[in-house]
Amino acid sequence: MKILKLIELIRPKQWIKNLFVFAPILFAARMLELPLLLTSLLAFAAFCGASSSVYVLNDIFDVESDRAHKKKRYRPIAAGDVTIGQAKILFAILLAATFLICLKLNILFIITIVMYLMNNLLYTFKIKNVVLLDVFSISIGFILRVIGGAVAIDVAVSSWMIITTIFISLFLGISKRRAELSGPNQENLEKQRKVLGDYDIVFVDQLNTVAATGTIISYALYTVSEKAILSFHSDKLIYTTPFVIYGIFRYLYLLHQKNLGESPTQIVTKDIPIIVNSLLWVIVCAVIIYKAKFGL
């Protein structure tokens, strides 16, 4: 039983966010190169270890605010199923495992992981209570995942990919704040998350409109950019844009009509239309990129 609670504490479901590590190898059209794919898998594992260590650290320091939340109070530490001492040991083990994995990767990747951990430490101890900077810190985490995936296999990352990542991660972060403000857990909001006192529904909806629009436009421009066309030897990637538009629209529907969004991972892993849409996007992207690359 204790093992299950420790596994719950590291939040393996959240590892889906680390799939951003594979974006560079997918769009570099090198997924079929086994050594690079194995390196990307190591980078993915390193980010899983790093992100899980951050979740454990957050739960240690947020234990009191979690106990004021109707759902988060059932988290292992807040519920008393895992002690602070046990959580600290688990935190150390996860950091050590991440370090050992990083030893098999290059120095640029190690620097990226260190920056990722530093960003999350700043978030935990300060930035999470600063309006706007809190969601930008979340965005930086996603950007570092993409950069980490690129430097691990030594491929250039497109500036358009970075811009798109910025907007989509801001969209997810702002949607989470929106769900927290409009969800069923309205009692003691500032005790649950202090920064929520600086947001309101109208302001957050305005921010999300900008983030959603930016995501769609930046992705569309990336698909028709000169660099993308030269890299993929095709201008057909633009036909994957409807999948991105549908994904954003579906997410907004779940956020506004179903009061979901507080857990982006839950939406992405449980909503069938989003799952199917995401798989179709990956498949169509892969077909367009690799068909052009190999002249099929």
Tell me the Ramachandran region of residue 136: left when phi exceeds 0, alpha when psi lies from -120 to 50, beta otherwise: alpha
3-class SS of residue 104:
coil
Supply φ then ψ for residue 225, to 5 degrees. -70, 155
CA–CA separation, 6 vs 105, rounded Å? 28
| Cα–Cα dist 148/153, whole Å | 9
Q: Scanning the structure block, which residue is given the tokens 């990083």? A: 102
Q: Could you tell me the residue ranges of all domains in the chain?
A: 1-155, 158-296
CA distance 175 to 51: 20
The correct answer on CATH 3.30.1230.10 for the domain covering 1-155 is no
Rounded (5°) CA angle 7-11-15 = 120
pLDDT digits (tens, 9 = 90+) for 184-222: 555 655 566 778 888 889 999 999 999 999 999 999 999
Helices 201-223, 159-182: axis angle to 10 degrees equals 160
Determine contact, residues 196/177, Cβ cutoff 8 Å.
yes
Place of tokens 């930016």: 214
d(CA 7, CA 37) in angstroms, rounded, equals 27
Gap between the Cα atoms of 225 and 191, Å rounded: 46
Query: Which amino acid does the sequence have at 167?
Result: F
Rounded to whole angstroms, how far apart are CA atoms 189 and 270? 26
Distance from C-alpha of 93 to C-alpha of 49, rounded to nearest angstrom: 9
Question: What residues of the chain score a pLDDT lower than 70?
Answer: 1, 183-192, 261-262, 292-296
pLDDT at 285: 92
- Side-chain-side CA neighbours of 217 within 13 Å: the count stands at 7
Query: Residue 92: its pLDDT value, please?
Result: 95
State residue 248's pLDDT score. Answer: 96
Identity of the residue numbered 110: I
Q: What pLDDT was estimated at residue 262?
A: 67
Residue 287 to residue 276: CA distance in whole angstroms = 16
- Which pLDDT score, from 0 to 100, does residue 185 have? 59
Phi–psi pair at 41, nearest 5 degrees: -65, -40
How far is the C-alpha of 112 from the C-alpha of 109, rounded, in Å?
Answer: 5
Inter-CA distances, 126 with 134, 140, 157, 181, Å: 9, 15, 30, 21
Q: What is this structure's pTM? A: 0.91
DSSP one-letter code for 76: T
Q: Select from 136, 140, 178 the least CA-distant residue to 263.
A: 178
pLDDT at residue number 124: 87
Q: Encoding tokens for residue 208?
A: 């999300």
